[in-house]
A and B are shown apart, each in its own frame.
Chain A
């Protein structure tokens, strides 16, 4: 009992440190890549090739003055960024980073907890994450923040359905809700191959869910300054910011585990394959941002409710029919 708790605590601490470091470097990855797409240099002054830039940013954000705008609701203003960051980090309890390894003669699964409703837990945590956005925008008592948070919440709620339908098709094919089992079901063929429609829906849903271009309406700066984050600064802003980048890494890991075969791949060890596939998703997200203009708000909502959700249901229906026909 005590040993199990201790193992879980150590694993969680390692996971937390790993995720936060990766997310800090995601900011640098994105800024350097965008700079490359736009024929600029990007941040390259702090450390060799700008590699210490994330630390400089972290120090700056932590030491900035922590203020609260007049007329803001104090309680809600302080807890909203915490909700955003905690729910974003919570999902790493069930996302596997690789197969079971043997360390010092003991089997060590590279996942904090392999629960049998794993993927639902991820979707549940992301649906709680909306509260960070909606409460943060409301509490700041500013019209730009309120508009931004209304837009964000509507967008996240709509695209959560698209994401859920795509995941449901995969869950049907794999016959399990456990993320480890879903990866094991792709030993021979990736679900990206057998479920191509669900894969495209998942990619669109993931980009919209993380609020990134071309779906970055929540913080379209020409209209809303910075959306729900407008009135936040210093460490509170950093919590929202970290939550967003954690979200990108989470979606990358989910894409790798649900559709791209997880840790299955030739030659390289499992965790390396997971990292490569996650980075591929992150690159795809940055590439989209550098390439596409922002869509309009009504187009965004119409795309989800009038097109993607219908396709998702059809795909689910076809998947279920094929499985029933095969007698699965």
Chain B
């Protein structure tokens, strides 16, 4: 039963991932990314983490990718334009980073305890996630909030118009 849900979702996620890098249109890449994030939400459901699955849809699929699309539409990027800056040996560097990441993932996945322990009662509910965030991991949680605040302040500072008398647009 779990495999019947997991396999199609995983296949769709991989296909979407290929679509993100292979699509020539930035908007098509964003739609492919949306498919990846939605399929991941389904795999979270298989892992009995229904609250995380819904948050994945609301935050990543519902908010982050919308912002990506906003940027693409406002810049009005059409197909055929390559990236403005190309690093030297970009392909080699990308392959090396990807291989390193895959190795780290394999080590973590293969090194996990088997058979997997059964999920405790109430695992993955809103209560469990809330307790973990606000009791177990309070410091990282608050640090993340501070980092986001810094990001917002920086964006406002960079995005505001120069004061009158300065070099205006």
| Complex contacts, B58 vs chain A, CB 8 Å | 120, 123-124, 127
Q: Across the interface, do B27 and A116 meet the contact criterion of CB distance under 8 Å?
A: no
Least Cβ–Cβ distance between A49 and chain B, in angstroms: 41
Q: Across the interface, do A135 and B31 meet the contact criterion of CB distance under 8 Å?
A: yes
Q: Across the interface, do A121 and B54 meet the contact criterion of CB distance under 8 Å?
A: yes
Pick from B6-14, B65-73, B142-150, B155-163 the stretch touching chain A: B65-73
Give chain A's interface secondary structure class. helix
Q: Which of A76, A115, A128 contacts B62 (CB 8 A)?
A: A128
Q: Say yes or no: is B63 at the interface (Cβ < 8 Å to chain A).
A: yes
| Complex contacts, B54 vs chain A, CB 8 Å | 117, 120-121, 124
| Complex contacts, A116 vs chain B, CB 8 Å | 50, 125-126
Q: Say yes or no: is A131 at the interface (Cβ < 8 Å to chain B).
A: yes
Q: Across the interface, do A117 and B73 meet the contact criterion of CB distance under 8 Å?
A: no
| Complex contacts, B25 vs chain A, CB 8 Å | 73
Interface residues on A, range: 20 to 34
Interface residues on B, range: 20 to 34
Question: Which residues, 58 to 105 on B, are CB-close (under 8 Å) to A?
Answer: 58, 61-63, 65-66, 69-70, 73-74
Q: Say yes or no: is A28 at the interface (Cβ < 8 Å to chain B).
A: no
Q: Across the interface, do B125 and A73 meet the contact criterion of CB distance under 8 Å?
A: no
Residue positions of A touching B, CB distance < 8 A: 73, 75-76, 79, 115-117, 120-121, 123-124, 127-128, 130-131, 134-135, 138, 146, 149-150, 153, 157, 177
Can you give 27 A-B contacts (C-beta < 8 A)?
A: A73-B27, A76-B28, A79-B31, A116-B50, A116-B125, A117-B54, A120-B51, A120-B54, A121-B54, A123-B58, A124-B57, A127-B57, A127-B63, A128-B57, A128-B62, A131-B65, A134-B66, A135-B31, A135-B69, A138-B27, A150-B70, A150-B74, A153-B66, A153-B69, A157-B63, A157-B66, A177-B126
